Chains A and B, each alone.
Chain A
Amino acid sequence: MLLKVLNLCTYYQTGSSYVRAVDDISFELAKGETLGVVGESGCGKTAAALSLMRLIPSPGRIVSGKILFEGKDITALSIKELLSIRGDQIAMIFQDPMTALNPVLSIGEQLVEPFMIHRRLSRKVAIPLCIELLNKVRIPDAGSRMKSYPHELSGGMRQRVMIAMALALNPKIIIADEPTTALDVSIQAELLELLKNITREQNASLMLITHNLGIVARYADRVMIMYAGRIVEKAFTLNLYQTPLHPYTKGLLDSVPRLNQNNNKKLTPIKGQPPDLANLPQGCAFYERCTLKEARCKAKAPTLKKFTCDHEVACWLKEEGK
Chain B
Amino acid sequence: MKNRIFIVGLIIILGFLAIAAIAPQIVPCDPEAQDLYHVLEGPSRQHLLGTDDVGRDLLSRVIMGTRPTLFIGVTATFLSSVIGVLMGLIAGYKGGFIDMFIMRLTDTFMCMPVLIVVLALVAVLGPGIKSVIMAITFINWTSFARIVRGEVLFARELPYVEAARAMGASGLRIIFFHLLPNVTAPVIVTASIAISGNIMLESAVSFLGLGAQPPTSTWGNELRIGYSYLEIAPLFSLVPGALITLSVLAFNFIGDGLRDTFDPRLSNTLLNKNVKKSEVK
Contacts and interface: CB of A to CB of B under 8 A. Distances in A.
Interface of A: 53, 55, 57, 83-88, 91-92, 94-96, 99-105, 113-114, 117-118, 162, 165
A117 B166 contact: no
Contacts of B164: 102, 113
24 contacts: A57-B162, A85-B168, A87-B167, A87-B168, A87-B169, A91-B166, A91-B167, A94-B159, A94-B163, A95-B159, A99-B160, A100-B159, A100-B162, A102-B182, A103-B182, A104-B181, A104-B184, A105-B178, A114-B168, A117-B167, A117-B168, A117-B169, A117-B170, A165-B167
Contacts of A101: 160, 163
B158 to A, nearest CB: 6
B158 A86 contact: no
Contacts of A165: 167
Given A102-B178, A104-B181, A105-B181, A87 B166 contact: yes
Nearest to B183: A104
Contacts of A104: 181-182, 184
A162 B159 CA distance: 12
A114 B173 CA distance: 12
A91 B163 CA distance: 9
A84 B162 contact: no
B160 A100 contact: yes
Contact of A96 (B159, B167, B177, B184): B159
B182 A92 contact: no
Interface of B: 158-160, 162-170, 173, 177-178, 181-182, 184
Contact of A55 (B158, B165, B181, B182): B165
Contact of B167 (A95, A99, A113): A113
A53 B163 CA distance: 11
A86 B162 contact: no
A99 B166 contact: no
Contact of A117 (B159, B163, B173): B173
Contacts of B182: 102-104
A94 B162 CA distance: 9
A85 B167 CA distance: 9
A88 B159 CA distance: 19
Majority-rule SS of B interface residues: helix
A91 B178 CA distance: 18
A253 B170 CA distance: 42
A102 B168 CA distance: 15
A95 B160 CA distance: 11
A21 to B, nearest CB: 16
B167 A100 contact: no
A86 B159 contact: no
Contacts of A57: 162
A13 B169 CA distance: 26
B167 A86 contact: yes
A288 to B, nearest CB: 33
B166 A53 contact: yes
Contacts of B177: 105, 113
With a 10 A CB-CB cut-off, give which of A87, A96, A101, A165 has the most chain B CB atoms: A87
Contacts of A92: 163, 166
Given A91-B166, A118-B168, 9 more contacts: A86-B165, A87-B169, A99-B159, A99-B160, A102-B181, A102-B182, A104-B182, A117-B167, A117-B169
A165 B163 CA distance: 10
Contacts of A102: 160, 164, 178, 181-182
With a 10 A CB-CB cut-off, give which of B159, B164, B168 has the most chain A CB atoms: B168
A94 B159 CA distance: 8
A282 to B, nearest CB: 35
Contacts of A83: 168-170
B159 A114 contact: no
Contacts of A55: 162, 165-166
B105 to A, nearest CB: 24
